Structure 1
Amino acid sequence: MIGKRNIHLETLDKLYLVGIRVRCPAEEYGWQIPLAAKQLDARKKEIANVSNLHQQFGAFVVDASSEEEDGYWVCHQVKKVEGVPEGMVSLRIPSQTYAVLKHRGSNMGILNTYEELHTWIAKSDLKRRLGAWHLERFYHFKDTEQIEVDLMDTIHDEKRR
């Protein structure tokens, strides 16, 4: 725990995600991702087997090693992948352990919250998995000035090594 912020570890079983892939120059992600989130929200009923229509996931690989991993995915979690709508893609995220910190406020302030999370990880003698899928679990995403999201940085789980 840093200050009043609750950072915790969370292990998730494998996830199936369906959504929209965003690829653009790095400086454009701040406004391209909210556009994709709005598009996905407008089309969410087209996706079969959605677990929670009010929650979106962002997925990305920090240190992408291929073109297939490059970008950012705005998605809904699904129970199983079935009939992916036109213009959308599916992802399978393996079971992983994450260091999690909630961010509330502007989407432009998210980098400061990530900095806080990365500092905590380093001080906790944990190691980030830069080549793995990292997640952002969005609870509120329609107003870019008032988002609520769990930043989920993938770490090495000592029990799985």
Structure 2
Amino acid sequence: MKTAVYSGSFDPFTNGHLDIVTRASALFDQVIVAVLHNPSKRPLFSVDERMQLIAAATQGLGNVSVDSFQGLLVDYLRQQRASVIVRGLRGVSDLEGELHMAQMNQAMYPAAETVFLATSPALSYISSSLVKDVASHGGNVAGFVPAAVCRAVQAKFASRQ
């Protein structure tokens, strides 16, 4: 069984993320969407909230599960007995940083292979940062995130006003 891990902060989970998860689920036996808990960041959503939102968005994908982790991704891969890291690329600007991470991960865990999936062109401009920026100014983010995420983003910004 080939298990792949798609990790990130997913704050919030976008349609671009969902595109990568959906396509990865067709390539691997199991895909774990692993939410990184990074104490140095100030996220919009807690790790638990992000996990719930991702689970709602991926509920139709039977071989996808959602989890969280802290620390090094390679340690999490070992723990899960996974050997594939899935990374999405929106454009050339993502490639250099992602390639360096892939090489570092493989140096620390030689069994790890990173698979890069190009985001669908119609979604390549979407980022969590842009979604938060648009929402913070009262903009409609419905076309950029799954429905449950849209409701949660709107509620977060409504409660801040």
* TM-score, normalising length: structure 2: 0.25
